[in-house]
Every structure is written in structure tokens, then in C-alpha cells.
Structure 1
Amino acid sequence: MLFEILKEGLFWAALGKPSEVMPFLRGKLLGNGLGESSKRQLEWLLDELERFYERVACCGRVEERHVRAIRSFHRDIVSVIETDGA
């Protein structure tokens, strides 16, 4: 489900609304009882994701390379959450 949300954010970004999904993601992921170290890592990843969405917004369309990048973000986010045991 997380991947689908990240991918939807990608399409919002292409429509010129790059931060549309970020408040939801931040609320759900950071309010998940993570330890401080994991929370910092996740905050960094979410900041990077937001900057990525902003770059996609400048492009104005979704390309295959963007979907590959979203898969990478998904993998990294899941890794942080699983490592923390949350």
C-alpha cells in the first residue's frame, strides 16, 4: 500500500502539486512510534522524497525513471521501519 501512495504522490507532482501527499505520509510514518534514530532517518528520506516530487513537478510528466526512483524510496522507507521493528 505504501508503494501505491508514493506512486500517487508522483502523479500529483506531475500535475504541479508536489507536496500534496507529503503531510499524509509524514503523519502516518513519523507518528508510528519509531525510535529516535529511525525517525531521523525517515525524516531525511521524506525530505528527499519531497525534493524529488518537486523535481518531477518541474518535468511535468511521469517517466519510467521516476517510477524506478519511487521503488527505491519505498525500499528505503520499508527498510528503516523494519529495522526499527515498528
Structure 2
Amino acid sequence: MANTKSAKKRVRSDARKRLRNLMVRSRVKTFIRKAEEAIRAGDASAAEAVRLACSELDKAATKGVIHRNNAARRKSRLMAKFNKASAAA
């Protein structure tokens, strides 16, 4: 357990950051899932869903919740799925 005043403060701030990171990661996963479902269903709204998912990934990377390369990789994979589905349609 933390003994010093600064260590106790660090525990509190880490707890706040952890909650924020959980919320952002959850939001990213939700948007990616919605985009992938729209792509699979062949909806006309798939392009908009992909755009929103990419935006959420960029926001998470900007906040430092995920690494920028992680965001870029996920966006690339999502766009590849979208382009493949668009070409098939």
C-alpha cells in the first residue's frame, strides 16, 4: 500500500485515468463493432459508420489511450473490409 503523500495521490490519479481509458476503449470497440456490422449487412450507412469509427480511433490515439500505430492498424483493417465489401457489391 502507498505510504507517502505523493504515492497516495498517484493511486487516486491512476484510478481516474483508468476509468477514462476504460470508457474511451469501450466507445472505440462499440463504434468498430457497429461499422463491421454495417459492412457485413451491406447497409448504405456503412461508409458513415466507418468514418465515425475512424474518428473515434483518432481521438483515442490523441488522448494516449491507444498507441497511434494501433489506431492506424485498426483503421487500415476496417477500411480494407469496407473496400472489399464495396467492390463485391
Give the TM-score of the pair, scaled to structure 1: 0.47
The structure that has the greater radius of gyration is 2
Q: TM-score, normalised by structure 2?
A: 0.46
Question: Relative contact order (alpha carbons < 8 A, sep ≥ 6): 1 or 2 greater?
Answer: 1
